[in-house]
Amino acid sequence: MSIPSRSGLFGAAAASAHGHGMTSQRARDRLVATLRTEGIKDPRVLDVIRTTPRHLFIDEALASRAYENTALPIGLDQTISQPWVVARMTELLIENGVPRRVLEIGTGSGYQAAVLANLVETVYTVERIEELLRKARRLFRSMKIENIRSRHDDGNIGWPAEAPFDAIVLTAAGESVPRALNEQLADGGVLVAPLGPPGAQRLVRISREGDEWRHEDLEPVSFVPLLGGIG
């Protein structure tokens, strides 16, 4: 099911966080130009990347690198994904129609959820590390993003009470997709995830049509491991 683009959802917050120097709008425009040359084509995704203040999602000491096309540490052995990866995963989720309800496994900094929130009706995000989730929630509130629901839990079990979901995205890599997540994907839905061992991970898109599952093996990527439990 397609819905109109939610561009501008947090426009006021983004406008107040335009930054300066290496966090300015010019820096964001350069990042978008880089993403375009590296194969990101969807104008909706490029527009959201352009308007989302990535520097707010990382430590202030790294703010000058916020609009480089690279992953950055966010503490607790976690990273904020490379912008190209965020853009590519988002593009894959919405390519064949914008999903209404998206489940994200691994909130992390909150950046991927914020990008998705500007495109879909509701984002449900699960994070196993409580400290990261608290930071992300504070940021969502300060940016006045009201269509993200979050939960502190083991991402391997998803969010069964809110299932099924039109789309699911994993921001950490396992050898395979946890069975619970497959079961929470709606008929006609799409799941995007990095799969495989460290050093040999690939981005995979799985589309469900009834009892049929179509797997697309895409680009090589590098993600932190999908762990169980909570912390």
Residue 149 backbone phi and psi in degrees, to 5: -110, 135
Which sign does the torsion angle of CA 45, 47, 50, 54 carry?
negative
**What are the tokens at 31?**
């990042």
Q: Counting beta carbons within 10 angstroms of the beta carbon of residue 81, is it exposed (0 to 12), middle (13 to 18) or buried (19 or more)?
A: buried
Give the CA distances from residue 161 to residues 7, 30, 158, 227, in Å, rounded to whole numbers and listed in that order: 29, 41, 9, 21
Of these residues, 2, 5, 81, 142, which one is catalytic? 81
> How many residues are there in the chain?
231
Residue 211 backbone phi and psi in degrees, to 5: -95, 10
**Catalytic status, residue 2:** no
Residues designated as active site: 81
